[in-house]
Structure 1
Amino acid sequence: MAKIAFLFPGQGAQHIGMGKVIASRFPAARQLYDRASEILGFDLASVCFDGPAERLDTTIVSQPALFVSSLAALEMLRAEKPEVVDGCAMAAGLSLGEYTALVFAGAMSFEDGLRVVQRRGEAMQQAADANPSSMVSALLLNPEQVAKVRDDAASAGQIWVANYLCPGNTVLSGDKPACARAAELIEQAGGSARVLTVAGAFHTPLMASACGQLEEALRTVSIQSPRIPVISNVDAKLHDGPERIREILIRQVTQPVLWEECVRTLLSQGCDQFYEVGPGKVLKSLMKRIDRKVDCQTVNDD
């Protein structure tokens, strides 16, 4: 019998139209958008379904939008294949997606999770506005080559490794001049550079000013031990209690995302059937690079 794991996407997977078909077909999904709009103070469904892209792509909007749209996709799966949802044994989420995974696992309520995600997006946007910064993917390079790019680009400014996504896909994050220099060095090394459309240097010390606001938000909500194991981005280990969850989520803002290691933890625990629940197919693509033999299905209306 398959051991099922759910994967929830992070910022960057958003696109205009996400969730529109699901919300029209499944009342439980539509209700999530309606409840979210009351909490957020604006019509989230309208932005997700119709844009404009300039607003949807902002950190303040994209984070709650992806959180809600992923949980809406989960409601579609629950209606169509309840045995899959009931049979899910473990979960993980990429950056923002870790919050979605924790809500699915019962560690936080939908409402509390959304309030924290909203505060997280606001705090990260403020930190990004205070430090002109960027992120760039280093594709087709090995870890040693990426380390050299980072070291050499540091002559132009502060820069760190922010995401270890899969073999041949590592994300660097830091000051804009350093990221621009890194992009040049990646190409010179025979790789491919892709500048990400994000507000700033996420998962680096440049986000430190966001931690206080996030800690305050996490202290105002009730957190329970997850009913199923959720893997942490920070150390690729299982979350194991409310205080540890708070600590890890705060650290996640300034520390690199160990996504490849998270997936390998799930595989080592016997998970052999994966579902990417939410907009896009990024996590399925990463899975192919981590272990192409593993089946990963997408759950969305793309």
Structure 2
Amino acid sequence: TYYTQPALLTHSIAVLRTFQDRYPDLKPATTAGHSLGEYSALVAAEALSFPEALRLVQERGRTMKASGEQQPGGMAAVLGLSVPEVEDICLQVSSENEGGVWVANDNCPGQVVISGELTALSTASERLEEMGARKVVRLAISIASHSPIMEYNLREYYQALEETTIDRPQIPIIGNVNAASLLSAADVQNELHLQLISRVRWTESIRTMIDDGITTFLEMGPGSVLTGLLRRIDRSVTGFPVDTPDSFASLPIHY
């Protein structure tokens, strides 16, 4: 986490800058990023400079590493159930003093990630399987990311955030926390303040962009996970993963 997060940010911004160099007249109508990817989206929207984003992401990685060491937790992907079904089980388990467990990511219909303390996570996973989940897969992570547990270790991250220069986004950016547009520097700061302790509302974010008229999505970063999620959210729109120089050749862009 400590080294991976800055590396992922750097890769995605390298892809973005390459795209901007090749197609200087093309401007995105809106942008969004999933969890860590939100920092790349903020750079794309000119709300953060790359150096400021990198500094924040380094502190974010350090904070998450410390959280995993001091207050171990975990995450699990739940396949085949809806968000309300998963949330009901999380609320039941959390109310039984098993510890806390929460919905962390609403990735797409039928794919929800939960996050929490280890005992609660195990109990919730068992009950979700009994409810009819197609599969519950523990993630190889010892951190309860995107849950209130993270708040105990965020003091230094919050200090870094206070020292960060944040500008008004120059293009709309849909935030993870509320799946709504971040319109001001204050909106961005509030988003980053809450992001690690809040659910990533990815399905809602994509639907917000589609409702705003977006029909073509470019995934700038390693892999094509988000393009796959996009297909499961709405097959009427098109997504293109862009992560290497060769991938630019597949884009439907003609000059």
Q: TM-score, normalised to structure 2's length?
A: 0.89
SS in 2 for 1:63: helix
User: Are 2:130 and 1:198 aligned?
Assistant: no
Partner of 1:300: 243
Does structure 1 residue 62 correspond to structure 2 residue 4? yes
Structure 1: distance between partners of 2:93 and 2:10: 37
Write the mapping of 1:1-302 to structure 2, written as runs, cut at 5 A.
59-83=1-25, 86-154=26-94, 155=96, 156-191=98-133, 192-301=135-244
Unmatched segments (≥5 aa) in structure 2: 248-255
Deviates more, 1:280-289 or 1:68-77: 68-77
| Higher deviation after alignment, 73-82 or 126-135 | 73-82
1:120 positional shift: 1.2
1:83-109 per-position Cα deviation (integer Å, ceiling 9, x unaligned) = 4xx231110001111111011111111
Aligned residue pairs total: 242
Two-structure CA RMSD over aligned residues (Å) = 1.7
Q: Deviations over 1:16-36 (max 9, x none)?
A: xxxxxxxxxxxxxxxxxxxxx
CA contact (8 A) 2:15 2:221 kept: yes
Hey, what's the Cα distance between the residues in 1 that align with 2:224 and 2:218?
10
Query: What amino acid is the match of 2:52?
Result: D
- Highest relative contact order (Cα 8 Å, sep 6+), 1 or 2? 1
- Alpha-carbon offset, residue 280 of structure 1: 1.4
Please say if residues 108 and 233 of structure 2, whose CA atoms lie closer than 8 Å, have aligned partners that are also in contact: yes
Is the 2:83–2:106 Cα contact (8 Å) retained in structure 1? Answer: no
Q: CA deviation at 1:203?
A: 0.9
What is the rounded CA distance, in whole Å, between the counterparts of 1:185 and 1:280 in structure 2?
Answer: 32
Q: Can you give the 5+ residue segments of structure 1 that lack an aligned partner in the other structure?
A: 1-58
Please tell me whether the aligned partners of residues 87 and 102 of structure 2 are also in contact (alpha carbons under 8 angstroms).
no
Q: 1:112 to 1:143 in 2, by over 3 A?
A: closer
Deviation sequence 1:142-174 (CA, Å, 0-9, x none)? 234213432344343211111111111111100
Secondary structure of the residue aligned to 1:208 is helix
Percent of aligned positions with the same letter in both sequences?
Answer: 37
TM-score by length of 1: 0.76
Q: 1:154-201: CA deviations, max 9, x gaps?
A: 343211111111111111100112212222222222211111223310
